[in-house]
Structure 1
Amino acid sequence: MKIVATDALLVIDPQNDFCEGGRLAVAGGAGVMPTINQLAERFKRVIVTQDWHTPDQVSFASNHDGAAPFTEIDVAYGRQMLWPDHCLQGSPGADFHPDVAPTVRKSSAVIRKGYNPAVDSYSGFFENDRRTPTGLSGLLRELGVTRVVLCGLAYDYCVRFTAEDAVREGFEAVVIRDATRAIAPETAAEAGRRFAALGVIELEAADLLRIA
């Protein structure tokens, strides 16, 4: 695959709370930041997403009496995983990891998501109600983007749902496997199956950078 002008790099939630020491740490999360920076150097268009929650977010286990993190409940829009409190607006945990600063500086936009306390948001395109858009689709179309390349955290949730929605919105989607990390093996396997079914391509960064 050759990087062209109609490609955009989508960097999903490269935030402190998803890295080692964070409130919802993904194993090896910080380790992908140098690879993300290498990728960003090659793209004309770079867009970053950012989880941006309020303390009363419906997906926080702390807001449901007796509920434990990593269990599911029914909410107005369907099933919702409950998480530890994370990426609170204005908190250090919501900040971008310092090692990804060059990519953030290069980005043309930051798409904040999950700021509605009544609806969580995994995808960079839609909140979890599957109806409320973030504006990312419109921005990509304005920029003339036809293919998105995804990296960041986490592979089995926010990267997965962003890639799936990219395809549904009419974009080609490519996931860079070694520039992302998963929360759990079971959900990572399910993400891989969904990608294969939807035609989402998975590559290693070296494969892309070698011929870019």
Structure 2
Amino acid sequence: MLKIEETDALLVVDVQNDFCTGGALPVPFGERVVSPINSMLKFFDHIVFTRDWHPEDHCSFSFEPEFRDGSWPVHCIEDTPGAEFHPDLRVPVDALIINKATDSGREAYSGFDRTGLAEMLRRRGVERVFVAGLTLDYCVRTTVLDALQEGFSTILVEDGVRAVLPENTTSILEELRAAGAETVRSNGIQ
């Protein structure tokens, strides 16, 4: 069991309606990350939720999307129901909310990409981050890699993530472990 310390933070990446069943860009079983994430909230003093918060004319939108990097259906338009957090996800009132991919001319997958998140975490004394959310192969992956690059000890919550392409899950987990991330299941923390 990993004991959560005052210097730990939980980063919840993009658990938004458009990435769940019925959304514009549904991740297979994306809503299944909600329960493991909710079960961990009570352990953390520092909780961050990121969200795609695209303008209507975002550069990644395509009317003939390839469903891969740089070619997606219209999704998570700022201030729309699709951009809202999943209705069952508990978002504490004191949680930090980070909007990302807000520049119409530039894609941004990572919660650290031009958001000031690293500095915000450092000001709060955070040294280790636990990462969960959607999607493992894009936004979660880049958030984990950037957290490591920023010098945070980084732990991926395995049962708290899902991939756009589930068949890539094993290779992405291997890549993240090789980069220095650890993994844990949500029931492995206290």
TM range (shorter): over 0.9
Partner of 1:60: 61
1:187 Cα deviation (Å)? 3.6
- The superposition leaves residues 117-156 of structure 1 with CA deviations (integer Å, 9 ceiling, x where unpaired) of 1111110001xxxxxx211001000000000001111111
- The superposition leaves residues 192-211 of structure 1 with CA deviations (integer Å, 9 ceiling, x where unpaired) of 23212211011111122xxx
Number of matched pairs: 189
| Structure 1: tracts of 5 or more residues without a match | 72-79, 127-132
Q: Distance in 2 between matches of 1:180 and 1:186?
A: 13
Partner of 2:28: 27
Q: Is the 8 A contact 1:39 1:205 kept in 2?
A: yes
- The superposition leaves residues 136-177 of structure 1 with CA deviations (integer Å, 9 ceiling, x where unpaired) of 001000000000001111111111100000000000100111
Please report the TM-score for the alignment, with normalisation by the length of structure 1: 0.85
Query: What letter corresponds to residue 121 of structure 1 in structure 2?
Result: A
Which has the greater radius of gyration? 1
Seen in structure 2, the aligned counterparts of structure 1 residues 150 and 106 have a Cα distance that, compared at 3 Å, is farther
Partner of 2:109: 122
Seen in structure 2, the aligned counterparts of structure 1 residues 145 and 178 have a Cα distance that, compared at 3 Å, is same
Q: Does 1:92 align with 2:71?
A: no
Q: Is the 8 A contact 1:49 1:112 kept in 2?
A: yes
| Structure 2: tracts of 5 or more residues without a match | none
Query: Which of the residues 181, 184, 188 maps onto 1:200?
Result: 181
Query: What letter corresponds to residue 95 of structure 1 in structure 2?
Result: E
SS of the residue 1:178 aligns to: strand
Q: Is the 8 A contact 2:16 2:84 kept in 1?
A: yes
1:10 Cα deviation (Å)? 0.3
Partner of 2:123: 142
Please report the TM-score for the alignment, with normalisation by the length of structure 2: 0.94
Identical-residue share of aligned pairs (%) = 41
Q: Distance in 2 between matches of 1:14 and 1:48?
A: 8
The equivalences for 1:36-51 within 5 A come to 36-51=37-52
Query: Which of the residues 57, 65, 70 maps onto 1:81?
Result: 70
Q: Does 1:69 align with 2:66?
A: yes
Structure (1 or 2) with the greater helix fraction: 1
Q: Does 1:157 align with 2:138?
A: yes
Q: Is the 8 A contact 1:47 1:107 kept in 2?
A: no
Query: What letter corresponds to residue 99 of structure 2 in structure 1?
Result: R
Q: Distance in 2 between matches of 1:26 and 1:125?
A: 22
